[in-house]
Amino acid sequence: MLRLGVEEGPEAVVLFREKQLGRFFSADEKKRLLHNDFKALLTVYHNEVNWPSMSNAPSLLSSITVSCLLYAGEQDQVYDGAKEAGKHIQRASFVSIPGLGHGEVSERSDLILPHTKRFLSSVTRNEG
Q: Give me the tens of pLDDT residue by residue for the chain, a chain 128 residues long.
A: 899 999 999 999 999 999 998 999 999 999 999 999 999 999 988 887 666 556 668 888 999 999 999 999 999 988 998 999 999 999 999 999 999 998 889 889 999 999 999 999 998 876 65
Classify residue 79 by burial, with Cβ atoms within 10 Å: 0-12, 13-18, 19+: buried
3-class SS of residue 73: strand
Predicted local distance difference test score (pLDDT) of residue 37: 94
14, 38, 58, 59 from 63: Cα distances, Å: 42, 34, 9, 6
Predicted local distance difference test score (pLDDT) of residue 52: 59
